[in-house]
Structures are given as C-alpha cells and as structure tokens.
Amino acid sequence: MLNLHYAPGTISAAVAITLHEAGLEFSTTRVDFKSAEQTTAAYHSINPKGRVPALETPQGVLTETGAILEYIAAIAPNSTLVPTDPFAAANMRALMYYLASTMHINHAHGMRGARWASQQSSFKDMAAKVPETMAASCAYVETLITGPLVMGTNLTLADPYLFTVCSWLKGDGVDISAYPKLAAFFASMKTRPSVIATARAGIIEV
C-alpha cells in the first residue's frame, strides 16, 4: 500500500491528484505544519529533509514531487501520464522542472524567507516581490498551454503539478483571470474527480 505524507495547501496535493488519476489505492498521513511536526524526529525518520510530500512505497520512501510523480506514472503505465513521444515528454518535464525550480521558489519567498536570509527586513522584501514574480511566471506558463490541459486534451504529470501551484495564486496576490489560458486550465482541472476527491480530503482548497 502506498501512503502519502502531506500538509494541506502544499505541493503534496499534486501527488494526491496524480495518484487518483492513475487509479492507485493509497492512504494518507497529515503532517501538521502548525505544530512544526515536520521538524520532529518521528517525521525525520520518514523524510530527513522535513518537507512534504513523502510517499511510502513497498520499496521505501520517495521524496521530491517530480520524482514521486514519475514513479506513479511508471507503476501505472496504462494511465498515459507521460507522453509516448520523446519530445512531448521532454516538454512536459521542462514545465515540471520550471515549476519546481522557479515558480515554487517564487511562492516560497512569501512565507519561507528564513531559508534564504536572516533579517526580518529581508523577509518582508522577499514577500513584497511575490506578486510580481508569480505574475511573471504565469505570463510564461500561459505561453505553454496548448489546450484545456497543458499539452492539449490528454492529462500528463504536468497538469496536477501546475494546478496545485495555481491554487496558490490568489494568496500570492495574482489574479488568474489576467491569463485566459491558465484560468481556463484551472477551471477545467477543478471539475476532475481526482481534484474533487483531493479537495474533499482536505489536501487542497480550490
């Protein structure tokens, strides 16, 4: 049995959505960030990095969102979560890497400034920049969407990943309606059973 360690409102929602899309059975364990459960020895025995998501598998624990999503696709090959065309698959991964290395970091500057600086003034400066950097990321991602979903009509690993990041935009001071293709994508994803189930479980708020 797969077990997903998650915290509400975090990127771990992308894993839950993908597990549903793949038709895989899984259980969940909530990590309470408000009580700093992610800093405890008990959770560090699951993920020494003290972050989510972490996915317990029969072979051990996997961490890092992109790696977990790739694992899900690999153990559910009939789910077509990764395009069969090599160039399309590379483009899917390019967006995923961008979300991980740039857009997620932009978002994190709003609340996790202590990762990069020590002064409160620096935290405030980073947080003030978030609406601008997230808007710039939205403008870029807007150019990549080719249909109701990122790569047209077939859902890939990039879709749950992008959808989860988009769920942060309102809190980051970005109006998604300014990006028509991104807004249409977000609205389309909200109707999927996988997203509805993840929201009902309290893993994401949409």
Residue ranges per domain, the chain?
Answer: 2-79, 86-192
pLDDT of 186 higher than 60: yes
* Residue 92 confidence (pLDDT): 98
Please provide the average confidence, as pLDDT, over all residues in the chain. Answer: 94
* Residue 87 confidence (pLDDT): 98
Tell me, what DSSP letter sits at residue 206? -
CA distances from 162 to 11, 14, 159, 180 (A): 10, 8, 5, 15
CB 2 within 8 A of CB 54: no
Spell out the CATH class of 2-79: alpha beta
**The CATH fold of domain 86-192:** Glutathione S-transferase Yfyf (Class Pi); Chain A, domain 2 (1.20.1050)
Among 3-17, 60-74, 125-139, the least confident range: 125-139
> Percent of the chain having pLDDT more than 90?
84
Q: Read off the pLDDT of each residue in 62-82 and give the average, rounded to a whole number.
A: 96
Q: Read off the pLDDT of each residue in 37-54 and give the average, rounded to a whole number.
A: 95
Domain 2-79 and domain 86-192 have a common topology: no
Segment (H or E) for 4:
strand 2-6
As a whole number of angstroms, the distance between CA 119 and CA 180 comes to 38
